[in-house]
Structure 1
């Protein structure tokens, strides 16, 4: 099982992320046996990413300082063959975010883009009413746009929501499951993006590994919701569920 494989390998995941979710991301990676590092200063990111097995770029609390660090780390990761994951948080909320995402996509090759449907619409230039960093409302041919995006940038595209969609531009699938409590606390999508970095390098079939990650992340949500209905406790329950899945595998899914 993918989380158990990650625990066995203990990869170092370099996260240039946002301050809202940094602690939760770090604890979530630790829960499955990965090692997080959250370095984001331009004076050290190239050196730090060279030590890592994957790089996450998350624009949740974007500013010019971290934008420079993202570019430097992304280019170094490309040079060294280290996979880079993009989480374009709120990409359509402001002009600055949208332009930054376009700039990063031009300058850095991403192995994975993990986003919600509103962020997909922003990248694909489809009219959409984004609600801050939430997905918002609009109409989009999700499968078609995701496949075109994957083909254009030669990467795996993951669109998460009530159902998740994953495509590498050739193969595609929908993944069901999960629990609505995942949408009622901050950071669950951002944590998934970080875990995708660990999953990408866990074997020789990144598409399959990431599809399995989506499946088991939804199982973790179901497992967590069985232990608590209180939103304040849900994040802790999710960390515990991820830990159990990475230690015990399928046995932990029996509720």
Structure 2
């Protein structure tokens, strides 16, 4: 493991995280999800449970016009096809023109050449509000790694901090590195969220849905680092609550949706662990 990053840690106030959840629910943002076929239903259910409104418009003819009216956009590279990549470019262009925050989830980047080129092209096209990925994906997106084992990371979050900081500065974005402790940076500030549960890794789309949550929070929060932190905190605190009610990954998935729906700002403020 590399030495700890020199990025200063400036924890955001827990109360601000709870307030961000209340603001997001008050707005009920419309989130366009250009995401992979494996996780589309789960992602939509997570957004509905937390109080946002999902739309899975991902065809080249409609993706751009829809992004222009959406409150937030998720671009997830889990199962890219030529048509959906064209739709992604259209959505990113329209989002950038409209000032709509969009989130990039570079699933599997580094290990597969075509999707890696797609990520490079999307980043060159317009800067996202947030980039969310596992450590191997963040390293590869920054040009410093060869990717993970499919969608699984072979690197630790601490190993990707310097790459995440550089990526954030280059593109003027927030980089969220997932792990046992999630690390989020704007290139200068660093926030660690130490909540979560291991069963999140045993539910298909656990990480992908978090990208959609980040788009929802980015639509209603002025500070994109707070948006990323609040989305991560909401998801991981809800996971901890759900795990207390569940017997395994199957019942945990159902309980997680219930927990996301019933989590309130005060409970989030009390339970979030920011470092």
Which TM-score applies when normalising by structure 1?
0.93
Cα offsets for 1:155-181 (capped at 9, x unmatched):
011001111111111211222121111
Distance in 2 of aligned mates of 1:140 and 1:208: 20
Which residue pairs with 2:120 in the alignment? 102
Spell out the pairing of 1:30-49 with structure 2 (5 A cutoff). Answer: 30-49=48-67
Which residue pairs with 2:222 in the alignment? 204
Distance in 2 of aligned mates of 1:152 and 1:216: 28
Spell out the pairing of 1:106-145 with structure 2 (5 A cutoff). Answer: 106-128=124-146, 130-137=148-155, 141-145=159-163
Kindly report the root-mean-square deviation, in angstroms, between the aligned alpha carbons of the 2 structures. 1.8
Which TM-score applies when normalising by structure 2?
0.87
Which has a greater percent of strand? Answer: 1
5+ residue gaps, structure 2:
1-17
Distance in 2 of aligned mates of 1:215 and 1:44: 32
Q: Which has the higher contact order (CA 8 A, sep 6+)?
A: 2
Question: Bigger CA drift: 141-150 or 130-139?
Answer: 130-139
Cα offsets for 1:56-95 (capped at 9, x unmatched):
1001001111010000110011011111100111112211
Which residue pairs with 1:58 in the alignment? 76
Task: Pick from 102, 111, 114 the counterpart of residue 93 of structure 1.
Answer: 111
5+ residue gaps, structure 1:
none
Task: Pick from 198, 206, 211 the counterpart of residue 188 of structure 1.
Answer: 206
Distance in 1 of aligned mates of 2:150 and 2:237: 28
Which residue pairs with 2:194 in the alignment? 176
Task: Pick from 215, 233, 248 the counterpart of residue 233 of structure 2.
Answer: 215
Matched-pair contact (CA < 8 Å) for 2:111–2:150: yes
Distance in 2 of aligned mates of 1:78 and 1:174: 28
